[in-house]
Amino acid sequence: MKITALMVLKCNPEGSDPVILANASDVNHFGYFQRSSVKEFIVFVGRTVAKRNPPGQRQSVQHEEYKVHSYNRNGLCALGFMDDHYPVRSAFSLLNQVLDEYLKNFGESWKTVQSDNAQPWPYLNEALAKFQDPAEADKLFKIQRELDETKIILHKTIDSVLERGEKLDSLVEKSSDLSAASQMFYKQAKKTNSCCTIL
């Protein structure tokens, strides 16, 4: 069970790339030299998924052993990068909470933000640590009723989130969020593991 990152983004109705308002990640379980690429990927995937999340909807996107959960509430979008086994219900409780906290802290100021914000938001970092145990998120659930009302759209791959004809591979190649090093990292991750050669 692991939450690797939590993010808050502003989705632009005209369809341009979403703007990052807050981003907290914990990449310590990755190798030292992979961490920067992982962080870049989080930004890239986060933007890609948020951009295609219609307002008022919840979606869960599977990517290998990870799941990206996102919830767009009137243009303000919260995302969580969890592993496959983090309970979905707990994940969305947490995203709800993150959005509530964000509005409480920053009001409507996000509507005018035009560029990514690199400033840390302490609450998000604390939440990232605290909710590693889904039992903590379940405590939130008890006071949230709204959660039951909207259905979740489930996607088995990132490709299925994309518009027809778009492929993750080509988005990776084009992305300005990804350095050459991260592109290499992406390709290496597709290499099959040699542990299958047990004989």
Partner 1 sequence: MDEPDPLELLNHLEGILESDPLIDEIGFIHPSQFVLLNEDVGTPSTSVDSVQTTNFRTLFWIRDHKLGISTKVLFPLYVAAKNAFVEAYKNYKLLQRDDKHASMCCSSSSLSLESELMKHSRALLILSCDFGTAWNSRKLVLSKKQSLSMFMNELIFSSVILSHSPKSEQAWSQRRWVIKMIAGNCSNLQEIMERESELVKKLAERSKMNYRAWYHRCWLVSYMSVEQVLQEFNKSREWAGLHVADNSCFHYRERLMLRLFEESEHSQDQDASFDPELHKLLKDEFNWVEKLIKRYVGREALWLHRRFLLTCWIRYFACGDHDRSLASNQRNIRAVDIDMLIDNELELFRSCTILPDSDFEDYQAQATFAATYMVWLKRVLCFIYFFNLAVSFELFTQLILYVLNQQLAGALAIDIQKVETSRVKSLLTNVCPEKSLLWNYLPELCM
Partner 2 sequence: MGELQVEKHVKYILAVEKRKDNFESVVMEHLRLNGAYWGLTTLDILGKLDAVDQDEVISWVMQCQHEDGGFGGNIGHDPHMLYTLSAIQVLALFDKLHVLDVDKVSSYIAGLQNEDGSFPGDMWGEVDTRFSYIAICSLALLRQLNKIDVGKAVKYIVSCKNVDGGFGCTPGAESHAGQIFCCVGALAITGSLHHVDKDLLGWWLCERQVKSGGLNGRPEKLPDVCYSWWVLSSLIMIDRVHWIDKEKLAKFILDCQDTENGGISDRPDDAVDVFHTYFGVAGLSLLEYSGLKPIDPAYALPVSVVNKVILPCRP
List interacting residues with partner 1 (CB under 8 A). 1, 29-34, 36, 65, 83-85, 87-89, 92, 132-135, 138, 148, 151-152, 154, 179-181, 184-185, 193-195
Structure tokens at 3: 């939450």
Q: Which two tokens stand for residue 107?
A: 């009001």
64 dihedral zone (left: phi>0; alpha: psi -120 to 50; beta): left
Task: Compute the Cα dihedral for 102, 156, 84, 63 and give only its sign.
Answer: negative
Exposed e or buried b per residue across 65-96, where buried means at least 16 C-beta atoms within 10 angstroms of its C-beta: ebbbbbbbbeebbbbbbbeeebeeebbbbbbb
Of 46-54, 98-106, 122-130, 188-196, the segment contacting partner 2 by CB under 8 A is: 188-196
- Which of partner 2, partner 1, none lies near 199, with the C-beta cut-off 5 to 8 A by kind? partner 2
CA pair distance 151, 163, nearest whole angstrom: 21
| Closer residue to partner 2, CB minimum distance, 174 or 191 | 191
* Comparison of 135 and 199: residue with beta carbon closer to partner 2: 199
Q: Pick out residues in 16-35 that bind partner 2 (CB under 8 A).
A: none
Count of positions on this chain that bind partner 2 (CB under 8 A):
13
**Residue 14 touches partner 2, criterion: CB under 8 A:** no
Torsion over CA: 106, 108, 110, 113 (sign): negative
Q: Which does 107 bind (CB under 5 to 8 A by kind): partner 1, partner 2, none?
A: none
Residue with tokens 């939590």: 6
Report the C-alpha gap between 103 and 148 in whole angstroms.
Answer: 21
Q: Which is nearer to partner 2, 39 or 67 (CB)?
A: 67
> Phi and psi of 11, rounded to 5°?
-95, 130
191 binds, among partner 1, partner 2, none (CB under 5 to 8 A by kind): partner 2
Q: Which of the ranges 22-30, 90-98, 170-178, 186-194 carries the binding residues for partner 2, by CB under 8 A? A: 186-194
- Please choose which of partner 1, partner 2, none residue 190 contacts, taking the beta carbon within 5 to 8 angstroms, the exact cut-off set by kind: partner 2
Residues of this chain that interact with partner 2 (CB under 8 A) are 64-65, 169, 187, 190-194, 196-199
